[in-house]
Chain A
Amino acid sequence: MLSTRNIYYRIGKKLILKGINADFLPGKFNMILGPNGSGKSSFLKIFSGDLNRYDGNISYAGTPLEQISKEKLACYRAVMSQLPELSFPLLVEEVVMMGRYPHFHFQPNKKDHEVCHAVMERMNLLDFRTRNYLTLSGGEKQRVQFARVLAQIWEKPADGFRYLFLDEPLTSLDINYQQEFLQIASSFCDAHTVIIAVIHDINLAIQYADQLFFMKAGELVAQGSPDTLINENLISKVFDVSTSIMRNPLTGKPLVLFANS
C-alpha cells in the first residue's frame, strides 16, 4: 500500500499541491484524473521519488520513502512516463533489458534474459527485438517503453509489494492499443501490486479503474469506485464542461458525454 499524508509542493511562490492525503491499495487499478495544471503529474513524480522538495509524508507499505535507497526502490517500483526519447541507436531488446538494470550488477543473468523474453512475448514485440528503436513509430516506441517498465517489476517480490506508476501512458497509441495497454496493466493488478495511472480519457478510466481519484487545483476533490462516484455534477465541477451520463451498452459502466459549456 502507498500512502501520502499532507503533501504540499510549491514551484516558486505557486502552490501546486495543497495537502494531499491518499491511500492507494494493492489489487485495485487506481487512476488519477483532473484538468491540466491540477497537479496530477507533479503528484505522481513526488510519490515516485523523482521530486524531493515537497512537504509531507509518503510511505511504501509503512516505510517512509526517504528511508528507501533509490537502487532498492528501483527493484520493485517502475514508472512509465511520457515518451522518453533516445538520442542514440539502440536495439529494442537492449532498451527492454534496461528495465532489468536494477536487478543485475554488470552482466544480465539467465533470469533477466527470460524476463525480457516473456515481456516481449506479452507485448507482441518478439519480431521487433533486433530493430533499431529510433526507426520505430511513436506507438511502437511506447510499447517498447512499456515492456521495459514491465520488465523492471516482472516478478512479484518475495515480501511486500511491487508498484507500477503510469503517467499519461496512452498518448501515442491508437484505440486498439489503448485497450490492449490497459488490459495488460490491469492483468498486473493483484494483491501484491499497487498500480496508479494518471490518465486523461475519462471513459477509458471508467472502463478499467477500480478506484478513481479526481484532482483539481492541487487538491484531491473526490475518490471512489467509478460506479458510485461518477455523476454529472462532479464531472462538470472538475472539468468545467457540460456533461451527460448514460450507460455504456457494451460494458454496462457509466459513459460520460460532453457538450460545449
Chain B
Amino acid sequence: MLRQNKYFFPALGVLLIVVLIAGIAFGAVPISVADMYNALLHLFQGKPAGNIYEGVFIQLRLPRVLLCAITGSILAVSGVLMQGLFRNPIVEPGLVGTSSGAALGASIVFVMAPAFSPAMKSFTGPWLLPLAAFCGALLASFIVYSLAKNARRVSVLSLLLIGIAINAVCLSGTGFMSYIARDPQARSITFWNLGTFSGASWQQVFIVGAIAVIGFIISFRYSKQLNALLLGEEEALYLGVDPDRLKKRIMLLNTAMVAVATAFVGVIAFMGLIVPHVLRLLIGSDNKRLLPAAMLLGAALLTLADMCARLLLAPAELPIGIITSIVGAPVFIILLKRFDLMQNKGGEHA
C-alpha cells in the first residue's frame, strides 16, 4: 500500500502538470510548449498574442483545460464529502440528483431568462446561471434526502432509487428546455445531460475557480470531523462533533460547488465515484489525505477524459459524459455488488 509513501502527493502533482500540458498541446490545432511559453510571456508583458497558436492557447485551450481541471476536482472532492456523510462508497453528486437538479435550474434560466426579462440577466450578471443551478441542485437534493430518510437514518438503497426518479424528472425537464430553446448551444440536449467543455471561457474559469477555492478550504477544515463521522453519528458526538450541524454545512457547501460547475459544463457523471474509489485503494480513507488527493487526481482524470473526448473522433468531439460513464459505470457496479455482499453477510450495516 502507498498510504505511507511520502512521494504520493508529489507524484500526483507531477501527473496533474503533465496531463494539463498534454491537454493543452493536443487538439484540433496542436500547440507546442514553446507557443505556450511565448503566449504566457506576451500575456504578462501586456503584448498581444504573437501568432495564431498563441491566440488559440490563451483564448480557447487554456480556459478549457483549466475549467476542466477545476470541475474534475470539484466532482471528486464532492464524491469524497458525500461518501463521508452517508458512510457509504456508492453516493456521488450525479446519482442523488444534485447534478441533474443543477442542470435543470441552469437550463431553465439559460432558455427562459432572455425571453422574459433581459434586465434580469444584466442585474445578476454572470452569477445568474450559477445561482439558478444552485437553487435547482438544492431543491433536487433536498427532495431526494427527505424522501430517502426514514427515522434518523438515510437508507442508501432508497437514496439511489429516489435519485434515479428525481434524475429522470430533471433530465426530462432539461430535455424540454432544450427542445424549446432558440440558442443553438442550449438546443443540444447533450450539452446539459452529457457535459461538454467546448464553451469554456475565462469568465467561467474565474467563477467556478472562486467557488472551488472557497469550497476546498472549508471542506479541508472539516476533514477531522468527517473522519469522526466514519465511526457513526453517536461516536462522532462522543468525540465532540455535532453531526447534524456538520451534515447541513457539508451538504450546502457541496451543493454549491457541484451546482456552479454543472451550470457551465452540464452533468458529468461518475467522477465522484471513480476518483475516491481509486484513492481509497491506494491511500486509505483518512479524509485529511483523501480530500487533497481527490482534488489533484480528479483534476488530472477529467482533463484526460476531455482530451480523449476531443481526440477520439477528431475533428468531431464526443460529449465528455460518455467517456466518464464508460469508465464509471463498471466501478459503480463493482461497488454496488460489494455493498450488496456486505449487507447479505448480515453483520455489517452501512
Given A49-B237, A78-B238, A79-B238, A87–B230 Cβ distance below 8 Å? yes
- Residues of the A chain whose Cβ atoms lie less than 8 Å from the Cβ of B317: none
- Measured CB to CB, the closest approach of chain B to A151, in angstroms, equals 11
Say yes or no: B237 contacts A90, CB within 8 Å. no
Residues of A45-101 at the interface with B, using a CB-CB cut-off of 8 Å, are 45, 48-50, 70-75, 77-79, 81, 84-91, 94-95, 98-99, 101
Measured between alpha carbons, how far is A45 from B237 in the docked complex, in Å?
11
A193 within 8 A of B: no
Given A85-B349, A106-B224, A90–B238 Cβ distance below 8 Å? no
- Residues of the A chain whose Cβ atoms lie less than 8 Å from the Cβ of B242: 70
Say yes or no: B235 contacts A81, CB within 8 Å. yes
7 new A-B contacts, CB < 8 A, other than A49-B237, A87-B89, A88-B230, are A74-B239, A74-B240, A87-B350, A88-B87, A89-B284, A132-B284, A152-B239
- Measured CB to CB, the closest approach of chain A to B222, in angstroms, equals 10
- Residues of the B chain whose Cβ atoms lie less than 8 Å from the Cβ of A84: 231-232, 234-235
- Residues of the A chain whose Cβ atoms lie less than 8 Å from the Cβ of B187: none
- Measured CB to CB, the closest approach of chain A to B27, in angstroms, equals 38
- Measured CB to CB, the closest approach of chain A to B216, in angstroms, equals 15
A102 within 8 A of B: yes
Q: Which residues from chain B sit less than 8 Å from chain A, CB to CB?
A: 3-4, 83, 87-89, 221, 224, 227-228, 230-232, 234-235, 237-242, 280, 284-286, 348-350
Say yes or no: B227 contacts A101, CB within 8 Å. yes
Interface secondary structure of A, over-half rule = mixed
Say yes or no: B240 contacts A86, CB within 8 Å. no
Given A50-B234, A81-B235, A91–B284 Cβ distance below 8 Å? yes
- Residues of the B chain whose Cβ atoms lie less than 8 Å from the Cβ of A85: 232, 348-349
Q: Give me the 4 closest cross-chain CB pairs, A-B, nearest first.
A: A74-B240, A88-B285, A71-B240, A79-B238
Q: Which of A49, A78, A90 is close to B286, meaning CB atoms less than 8 Å apart? A: A90
Say yes or no: A90 contacts B230, CB within 8 Å. yes
Interface secondary structure of B, over-half rule = loop
Measured between alpha carbons, how far is A90 from B226 in the docked complex, in Å?
13
- Measured CB to CB, the closest approach of chain B to A83, in angstroms, equals 10
Measured between alpha carbons, how far is A260 from B348 in the docked complex, in Å?
34
Say yes or no: B231 contacts A98, CB within 8 Å. yes
Measured between alpha carbons, how far is A143 from B242 in the docked complex, in Å?
26
30 A-B pairs within 8 Å (CB atoms) are namely: A45-B234, A48-B238, A50-B237, A50-B238, A70-B242, A72-B240, A74-B238, A78-B238, A81-B234, A84-B232, A84-B235, A85-B232, A85-B348, A86-B231, A87-B89, A87-B350, A88-B285, A89-B284, A90-B230, A90-B284, A90-B285, A91-B284, A94-B227, A94-B284, A98-B227, A98-B228, A98-B231, A101-B240, A106-B221, A106-B224
Measured between alpha carbons, how far is A19 from B83 in the docked complex, in Å?
41
Q: Which residues from chain A sit less than 8 Å from chain B, CB to CB?
A: 45, 48-50, 70-75, 77-79, 81, 84-91, 94-95, 98-99, 101-102, 106, 130, 132, 152
Say yes or no: A88 contacts B280, CB within 8 Å. yes
Considering the complex, give the chain A residue whose CB is closest to the CB of B242.
A70
- Measured CB to CB, the closest approach of chain A to B22, in angstroms, equals 32
- Residues of the A chain whose Cβ atoms lie less than 8 Å from the Cβ of B83: 88
Given A88-B89, A91-B284, A70–B348 Cβ distance below 8 Å? no
- Residues of the B chain whose Cβ atoms lie less than 8 Å from the Cβ of A49: 237-238
- Residues of the B chain whose Cβ atoms lie less than 8 Å from the Cβ of A106: 221, 224
Say yes or no: A75 contacts B240, CB within 8 Å. yes
Measured between alpha carbons, how far is A152 from B237 in the docked complex, in Å?
13
Say yes or no: A89 contacts B285, CB within 8 Å. yes
- Residues of the B chain whose Cβ atoms lie less than 8 Å from the Cβ of A74: 238-240
Given A84-B231, A91-B3, A101–B286 Cβ distance below 8 Å? no
Considering the complex, give the chain B residue whose CB is closest to the CB of A49.
B237
Considering the complex, give the chain B residue whose CB is closest to the CB of A107.
B288
- Measured CB to CB, the closest approach of chain A to B174, in angstroms, equals 33
Measured between alpha carbons, how far is A132 from B282 in the docked complex, in Å?
12
- Residues of the A chain whose Cβ atoms lie less than 8 Å from the Cβ of B238: 48-50, 74, 77-79, 81
- Residues of the B chain whose Cβ atoms lie less than 8 Å from the Cβ of A88: 83, 87, 89, 230, 280, 284-285
Considering the complex, give the chain A residue whose CB is closest to the CB of B231.
A84
- Measured CB to CB, the closest approach of chain B to A53, in angstroms, equals 13
- Residues of the B chain whose Cβ atoms lie less than 8 Å from the Cβ of A81: 234-235, 238
Considering the complex, give the chain A residue whose CB is closest to the CB of B87.
A87
- Measured CB to CB, the closest approach of chain A to B158, in angstroms, equals 17
- Measured CB to CB, the closest approach of chain A to B62, in angstroms, equals 34
- Residues of the A chain whose Cβ atoms lie less than 8 Å from the Cβ of B87: 87-88
Measured between alpha carbons, how far is A72 from B241 in the docked complex, in Å?
10
Say yes or no: B234 contacts A102, CB within 8 Å. no
Considering the complex, give the chain B residue whose CB is closest to the CB of A71.
B240
